[in-house]
Amino acid sequence: MDGDLDRAEVLISALEHFSYCPRQCGLIHLEQTFDENIYTIRGQLSHERVDAGEVEVTAGIRVERAIPLWSDRLGVRGKADVVEFRQDGPYPIEYKVGPPRGRHADVQLCAQALCLEDMLAVPVSRGAIFHVATRRRREVEFSDSLRARTMSLIEATRRMLVSQVLPPPVNDARCQRCSLAESCLPDVVADRVRLAQVDKQSFEPAVEEASAP
């Protein structure tokens, strides 16, 4: 298992999924479940330009799109939607189409920054999430705490991928905004998990019974 853990590569995009809900990450990256909805279709359309790999210079800043990223040190790989090469260093930008879902995308962006630092041997201190619907950027600072959270999520995601075990449902407010709810069936599965626990307990001997000679 340790060897598998050492070798298993984590996709940067899996980190946002794991941060939002480990089961969502498992459904997508272990079981290849993908529900198409209005946001995923819009996402594909808005990524068409990004995926074209164009390079342009705007206001003196070189802007590159669809840049492959990796870090052998962290065992991650993926792609940056956009990187602006500013005077004070690279500035990654991640495009998001759906409604904002808290700060979960920040770990994905931070992993991109960690890769850029490893690949280019320069510090990357800030980046941004670009919300396509509002055409607004939200700047993200790659603080020590965000870096630590990102590294810890990389390891947790890797452990889940190597174990091949689908995590249990969170079955809370997150499910109402999850595009995989129909495939996940969080209520049904959570009930089944609870039922299995009750079943197991009902077959376990009582403490006095178990310790009797």
Q: Which is nearer to ligand SF4, 173 or 212 (CB)?
A: 173
Give the shortest CB-183-to-ligand SF4 separation in angstroms.
8
* Region near ligand SF4 per CB under 6 A, out of 69-77, 110-118, 132-140, 168-176: 168-176
Q: Is 181 in the site for ligand SF4 (CB under 6 A)?
A: yes
Q: 133-137 contacts: CB < 8 A, separation 24 or more? A: 133/97, 133/99, 137/93
Q: How far is the CB of 211 from ligand SF4 (least distance, A)?
A: 39
Per CB under 6 A, 14 contacts ligand SF4: no
Does 160 interact with ligand SF4 (rule: CB under 6 A)? no
184 is a contact residue toward ligand SF4 (CB under 6 A): yes
3-state secondary structure of 42: helix
For residue 180, state whether it binds ligand SF4 (rule: CB under 6 A): yes
Strand partners, 143: none
Terminal Cα-to-Cα distance of the chain (whole angstroms): 39
Answer yes or no whether residue 178 interacts with ligand SF4 by CB under 6 A: yes
Contact (Cβ atoms closer than 8 angstroms) between residue 112 and residue 69? yes
* Cβ closest to ligand SF4, residue 101 vs residue 149: 101
Q: Which of 12, 27, 93, 160 binds ligand SF4 (CB under 6 A)?
A: 27
Burial 87-114 (b: 16+ CB within 10 A, else e): eebbbbbbbbbbeeeeebbbbbbbbbbb
Task: Output 43 or 75, the one with its CB closest to ligand SF4.
Answer: 43
Across the strands, what pairs with 58?
A: 61
Measured CA to CA, the distance from residue 96 to residue 64 in angstroms comes to 17
CB-CB contact of 139 with 128 (8 Å): yes
**Whether the Cβ atoms of residue 146 and residue 106 lie closer than 8 Å to each other:** yes
83: contact with ligand SF4 by CB under 6 A: no
Smaller CB separation from ligand SF4, 45 or 193: 193
On whether the CB atoms of residues 13 and 108 are closer than 8 A, the answer is yes
By CB under 6 A, name the binding residues for ligand SF4.
Answer: 21, 23-24, 27, 169-171, 174-175, 178, 180-181, 184, 186
